[in-house]
Amino acid sequence: MSKYYNDLGYKTNVYKSNDQHLSEAFDLRGSGNIDFATLNIDGCEEEIQFIKQVSEEDITSISKYKQHFALEQTNKISKNLKIKDTILQDDTVMSRKLSELNAISQKFNDFLTYTRDNDNLKDYINLELLEELIGVLNKILFSLKKHTEDKFIEKTSVKMLNQIINLFSTEIAKKTGQPQKPAKTGFAEYASNRIKIEKTIKKILQNISKQIEPIEEYAGSLGEKGEIFCKTNLKIQDGNITDSAYTPVKQVRKTPQKDFAKSIIAIQRSLYNNNLFEKITELNAIDGIETINSVSDLLLKYKHFILNNESYSPSNGESSMILLHKELSEDKEIYLIDEPEKSLGNDYINDVIVPLLREKALLGKKVIIATHDANIAVRTLPYNSIYRLHDQGQYYTLTGNPFSNKLKCIYGIHDELDWKEISMKTLEGGKEAFGERGKIYGN
């Protein structure tokens, strides 16, 4: 039947009682679909890559200065070449300014593209104002482009000058045999490198330490017991989480997650110590470090059910109740349900399921149920009951409803049957059994 409706263009599937447990339906043990981008946490991919690859910047040894000044300069041409004594220019500030200009230009360029290509803006903003805005943005971008070109020329000129100084100094040292005078002490690079490592580690730790609000998803109703929810607790491994209930969201083992977080903390404590790069080496030596490339790789989850804000493990029967309730609560045109009464109590069928089935019928939905339960088959007042009869080696299909009190054969030839009698026989054990129960209840 599902295939028949699917072939007509409907998307249907059959609900079977006990076919699936609630924990499987909500994928408690799976990785889950956690969109890290929605958690307002920076993945720090570039920062983690930098820490893995960073190396120490060397400071010029005093011995190199001693070697240079220990020998008397005798070459006359060398004495007259002042370029070899020229101090190298620092291009750090220029590089930073150029990066800032590029970032600013990109922001304005994105805004211009958005303003120019978004047709919806014309519905809310006067066309003249939009054209004026686009003109102003173009002027700003032109000005930024000129500044960028100037800074680029400046930076490139300094870079080329430094290359020329280094080249001349090296060649003069080769020709004269006098050790080359160090062009710089190296301390600026050394200090800048340490400061960059500090900023990088600080950013990683800031994101690792962020708290994440739990995600709650409505699971279903347990009647008088209350509403049950599926709760997903999320944490980022900070080196201190030992709760075995938490499992990695990604295909990452727990040990490298924990070791990575601890190593980052150890690096922070050694930022200005001699053993800093020992700690970075230890980080890279972690077994499975190649699996940690983002803060998202440290994400842990604990997915479970809660009832009245307390952890709860639904039984198989309760699982069937909730899954059926969930199936019927979804807005569909066609519902195909196979023996929903399995594992369900009569109270739940009467109080929750039957009203839901009636509601779907009133809304004009097609609800097709295979059942042996009298409450579902009778109390829902079906528009059409289908009865499969086996008589003298032959199978017959009869249809009818409680309003006509008839069941007519639609395939083959067979006498009409009484809907009430067949219902009592099939669902209640016969008229006598039904009456006997009535007497017992009456007494």
Domain boundaries, the chain: 2-7+317-442, 16-48+209-312, 60-185
Q: Point out the least confidently predicted range of 86-90, 301-305, 376-380.
A: 86-90
Model confidence band, residue 418 (pLDDT cutoffs 50, 70, 90): very high
HEC profile of the chain: CHHHHHHCCCCCCEEECCCCCHHHHCCCCCCCCCCHHHHCCCCCHHHHHHHHHCCCCCCCCHHHHHHHHHCCCCCHHHHHCHHHHCCCCCCHHHHHHHHHHHHHHHHHHHHHHHHHHCHHHHHCCCHHHHHHHHHHHHHHHHHHHHHHHHHHHHHHHHHHHHHHHHHHHHHHHHHHCCCCCCCCCCHHHHHHHHHHHHHHHHHHHHHHCCCCCCEEEEEEECHHHCEEEEEEEEEECCCCCCCCCCEECCCCCHHHHHHHHHHHHHHHHCCCCCCHHHHHHHHHCCCCHHHCCCHHHHEEEEEEEEECCEEECCCHHHHHHHHHHHHHHCCCCEEEEECCCCCCCHHHHHHHHHHHHHHHHHCCCEEEEECCCHHHHHHCCCCCEEEEEEECCEEEEEEEECCCCEEEEEECCCCCEEHHHHHHHHHHCCHHHHHHHHHHHHC
pLDDT of residue 347: 79
- Give me the sign of the Cα torsion angle 361, 366, 372, 378: positive
Say if residue 236's pLDDT is above 70. yes
pLDDT at 33 over 80: no
- Spell out the residues 6+ positions from residue 138 whose beta carbon is closer than 8 angstroms to its own: 112
Q: For the ranges 65-74, 112-121, 276-285, 392-401, which has the lowest average pLDDT?
A: 65-74
Would you say residue 52 has pLDDT above 90? yes
Is the pLDDT score of 191 beyond 60?
Answer: yes
Average pLDDT score over the chain: 85
Residue 267 confidence (pLDDT) above 90: yes
Q: What is the residue whose two structure tokens read 């060649």?
A: 171
Mean pLDDT of 228-236: 93
Q: pTM for the whole thing? A: 0.66
Band of pLDDT at residue 279, cut at 50, 70 and 90: very high
Q: How confident is the model at residue 106 (pLDDT cuts 50, 70, 90)?
A: very high
Please tell me the predicted confidence (pLDDT) of residue 400: 94
The rounded distance, in Å, linking the Cα atoms of 81 and 86 is: 10
Is pLDDT of 91 > 70?
Answer: yes
